[in-house]
Amino acid sequence: MYGNGLFHLNSIMQPAVATQAPVVGVAITAESVVPGCATGASHPVDIEEAVRFSIEVAKHFGAGKCKFYDEEEFKRIVELYGSMRHLQVLGGKG
């Protein structure tokens, strides 16, 4: 958490700035520091496991058995920063 009391969302959630559709990030971790843009940084087995996990979570979400965000946390974000829809533009057009 940072000084605003909110949990940190990193660049894995950046697609949220380009769509109004739900965006879910699944982090793949490594034992050492690896830039996300590095060629070959991810292994196919790791990616497959993340995809399988995402599919299972999507099934539970569709059945109403899990949530992707905490309502109170989201309410606090909106209170502090507004809707943030102004970030959902391309090329500086609002």
| 10-residue stretch averages of pLDDT, the chain, 94 residues long | 61 68 70 68 82 90 88 87 77 57
pLDDT for the residue numbered 20: 76
CA dihedral 82, 67, 10, 24 (to 10 degrees): -110
Q: Is the pTM of this model over 0.75?
A: no
